[in-house]
Structure 1
Amino acid sequence: MLRNTALAAGALVMLGFAAAPAHADLKLCNNTESRVGVALGYKDKEGWATEGWWTIAPQKCMPLLKGDLIARYYYVFAVDYDKGGSWGGKSIMCTRDKVFTIRGIEDCEGRGYTKTGFFEVDTGEEKDWTVSLSGEKTTQGK
């Protein structure tokens, strides 16, 4: 009887693990030898937002957004803190030097922010995505 109870309890525990939802995030992996600072732009139900700065150590990954992704496109700007230079693009959004969350992408300078070019990340509407920074170029993938 005790053995059957233990087996039943074990089966319930296993079912609990099987029913747990999959963990999905937008992650950034720093595949360089430098520390990088990262800013993220996205559109949510309230409109456009930019956030920064996450500091990511060399050869490490970090989630920028936790949970299932709700948009197809996200925007990233990153700065190499140790060697200089940055990863950016043509999508203009607002940033500032200190930690920030900024609502809206219009009139950055008029609102006291810096106009910054972000590169676009197309997640293909996947719920989980990883962006990888390397020394020369930006790569991305599922």
Structure 2
Amino acid sequence: EQALTRALDRFPAVETVTCDLRADDVDVAADLTSLGFADGSFDWVYCSHVLEHVADDRAAMAELHRVVRPGGTVIVQVPVRDGATYEDPAVTSPADRLAAFGQEDHVRHYGLDVTTRLEDAGFRVGTIRADRLFSRDEIHRHGLIPDDLLFRCDRHD
């Protein structure tokens, strides 16, 4: 995200706003389920590896839909595994989350059915692999994984 922000900062007409719930080096500390921005505030939003940490991801997806303008786009990246999305609210300890979801602070594993959740939030969704969008050098420079999926979520209302 920092590399993307630096790249966008080279364009004077582009205004960036960075958000995170817990990071100190952002413009706005915000909960993704309740962002303090007006409806349709952004033309474009990049949400990278956040939703798998959010207990109510559907509320977060709805909030992303709310803050992007009609005709705007949200790019979502989440870890995706084979099979359906798996979540279990009873899994709460860091050790249990590590065993169940692969990381101590994840609350689910997404499957390709994440597109349905994004569509339910009101988006038209398309997918593209990182290695089809970026060069090998760009993937390395931006810390991407070549076969990561990016979900392009267009607000079409």
Interval of TM-score (by shorter of Structure 1 and Structure 2): 0.3 to 0.5
Higher relative contact order (CA 8 A, sep 6+): 1
Flag the structure with higher strand content.
1
TM norm structure 2: 0.30
Flag the structure with higher helix content.
2
Q: Which has the larger radius of gyration?
A: 1
